[in-house]
Structure 1
Amino acid sequence: MRTTYQKLWPLLAALSVSQAGAVKVIVSFQPLYDVVTRVAGGKAQVERAAPIGASPHTFDPTLRDIRRIKEADLAVMAGLGADAWLEKYVKSSGSKARVLKLGDSMTFNRRREGNATDPHWWLDASLMAQAARRTGQELAALDPGNAATYRANAEREARALESLHAELKRTLAPVRGAKLVTFHNAFGYFARAYGLEVAATLAPVHGVEPSVQSMTRAVTTIRRTGAKAVFAEPQLPPGPARTVAREAGVPLYTLDPEGSAQNPSYAGMMRANRDTLLRAFKR
């Protein structure tokens, strides 16, 4: 009589082969990773390059990260300069991964910040819905055997994100026109999508500490426009934002543009930001 293990061995072997042959996807950072994982639906192995809570702008991969990048079949990134390091390491590692730069491959009205394109498109949930569909197309082309699953998952995710977009527009309507003073220029797409206005940023160039001049200008703008709060970010030191808030006599809150352990899901991050804005502006 065969043992239980002997009976299960063909199934286990088939499962092992299936996992070994699965498409490997590396995604630059948390909000994209959350959405891509649902589009993949278990048919592809999806890993995140930058750890949760790390900024995609400044992440520096370890040797282990570079090895994972090299082994990937597909690298998914925000594009538009937000996470250019991922494409650089795909090339330098000798990886044969296809590179999907979502922001570069989607159709939308790109915001400008001075001479540069604002890359923070993912903070508009309607654009993230477009990204879900675009990812489904790419996975279907890379793994035709599971194409129908990828397309179905992508459509389901996109519709959920479109519903989230409508919810955010509806629930932020009471504070429409409110003025944001943020640490850096991450919330332009969010403001445009949900009826807010970015009045000032403390550090217009990401990765550069706010200057005394920019902080002074921010205080002046708060007093001139009647902005009700200053917003720090969990990925960046809160000191400069705290100083500006204290000088202007307004409270300090935190908005998360890139995901954190407290809000690992994209929808959770966006709703938490919505709730923070309602607290700040409806007091």
Structure 2
Amino acid sequence: MHVFPARSTAFLTGVALALICGCGGSSDAVPRNSPAGPVPVVASTNVYGDVVEQIGGDRVRVVSIISDPAQDPHSFEAGTRNQLELSRAKVVVENGGGYDDFVRSMLRTAKNSSADVVNAVEVSGKTPPANGELNEHVWYDFPTMGKLADRIADALARTAPADADVFRQNARTFKEKLTLLQAEEEQIKAAHAGTAVAVTEPVPLYLIEASGLRNSTPAAFSEAIEEGDDVSPRTMQQTLDLFTDKRVEALVYNAQTAGPQTEKVEQAAEDNGIPVVPVTETLPPGEDYISWMSDNLDALRTALDE
């Protein structure tokens, strides 16, 4: 059966934003060196858009190119409206690593080439393993997200220097919340270190590995699914055997890119009483980054405790 996320506990409250007065003595004056209005920011997905909003507050205006949880980011095709928003942006946040190449393609043709571009994969410092490919889904890696928060705060501060202290304080608050998520990972690790799980795609692997779990999925299966290729009969059987032989304790399932092959694996898990934990690549409605990741961890822990 599916294990759906429980509501996460309350987190640290947001930091109160200090009122900034203009140099001319009027409370309505625009601070010197500050743009006349919120900083325009474009994010490739609403995951990064939400992080920008948590750091920038009402001092940013964020447009997230991909916000529909039914949209597969790998196959997304940007349009003229996206191009227009990018041409107006002062800061752009992309994932990088080949995940959202449409951003760089549009930036190359955008009239505005001066935007400060924040690339999450570059910020992470991660590189491909020997004879392997980089797992570009770095938003499931909390240390990376902490580095990214600082980098976003710096980019916003360069655009709106008068608000720099606000941005950096909000980044510190965001990172404090990340430590709570890392504590949840440590709790799972303490109880289930070495436990084998399966995935349909490498999307949640950073979270799984940080939680001390072992991914037993045949690499050929998850790679084929991620690339949109057909899984060979042999690889499919090897994957199905994980569930019929009860060699894994949970299936972490990317619900955003489901198809006949992944649905067959999901059915095998359910038929053999293996809990299925759905994850997505973009924020579900009504969630922010912190609550979303906490819910993912809650669901994973619940599945493993069964």
1:43-95 Cα distance to aligned partner (Å, 9 max, x none): 12122111231333322222222211221111101222222211211112333
**Candidates 98, 109, 123, aligned match of 2:116:** 98
TM-aligned CA distance change 1:78 to 1:191, over 3 Å: same
The Cα shift of 1:245 comes to: 4.0
| Residue aligning to 2:287 | 264
The Cα shift of 1:98 comes to: 2.3
Unaligned runs of 5+ in 2: 1-25
Give the aligned residue type for 2:294. Answer: R
Give the aligned residue type for 2:117. Answer: V
Give the aligned residue type for 1:103. Answer: V
| Residue aligning to 1:211 | 231
The Cα shift of 1:223 comes to: 5.1
1:165-194 Cα distance to aligned partner (Å, 9 max, x none): 123322453232222211111122112211
Number of residue pairs aligned between Structure 1 and Structure 2: 271
Tell me the secondary structure at the aligned position of residue 90 of structure 1: helix
Give the aligned residue type for 1:203. Answer: S
1:124-175 Cα distance to aligned partner (Å, 9 max, x none): 2222112111111121123222212111111121122123212332245323
TM-aligned CA distance change 1:269 to 1:195, over 3 Å: same
- What is the distance in 2 between the residues matched to 1:12 and 1:52? 37
TM-aligned CA distance change 1:234 to 1:19, over 3 Å: farther
The Cα shift of 1:222 comes to: 4.3
Structure scoring higher RCO (CA < 8 A, sep ≥ 6) equals: 2
- What is the distance in 1 between the residues matched to 2:205 and 2:156? 30
- What is the distance in 2 between the residues matched to 1:52 and 1:264? 13
TM-aligned CA distance change 1:62 to 1:103, over 3 Å: same
Tell me the secondary structure at the aligned position of residue 166 of structure 1: helix
- What is the distance in 1 between the residues matched to 2:68 and 2:131? 29
**1:230 and 2:247 matched:** no
1:183-220 Cα distance to aligned partner (Å, 9 max, x none): 11112211221111111163314241441433222123
- What is the distance in 1 between the residues matched to 2:144 and 2:207? 10
- What is the distance in 1 between the residues matched to 2:89 and 2:135? 28
**1:156 and 2:173 matched:** yes
TM-aligned CA distance change 1:95 to 1:253, over 3 Å: farther
| Residue aligning to 1:116 | 133
| Residue aligning to 2:145 | 128
Tell me the secondary structure at the aligned position of residue 129 of structure 1: helix
The Cα shift of 1:32 comes to: 1.6
| Residue aligning to 1:278 | 301
- What is the distance in 2 between the residues matched to 1:144 and 1:135? 13
- What is the distance in 2 between the residues matched to 1:173 and 1:30? 32
The Cα shift of 1:240 comes to: 2.2
Unaligned runs of 5+ in 1: 1-9
The Cα shift of 1:244 comes to: 2.2
**Candidates 95, 98, 119, aligned match of 1:78:** 95
TM-aligned CA distance change 1:225 to 1:114, over 3 Å: farther
TM-aligned CA distance change 1:244 to 1:256, over 3 Å: closer
Across the aligned residues of Structure 1 and Structure 2, the Cα RMSD in angstroms comes to 2.8
Tell me the secondary structure at the aligned position of residue 273 of structure 1: helix
Percent sequence identity over aligned pairs = 21
TM-aligned CA distance change 1:113 to 1:231, over 3 Å: farther
Give the aligned residue type for 1:140. Answer: A
TM-aligned CA distance change 1:121 to 1:14, over 3 Å: closer
| Residue aligning to 1:6 | none
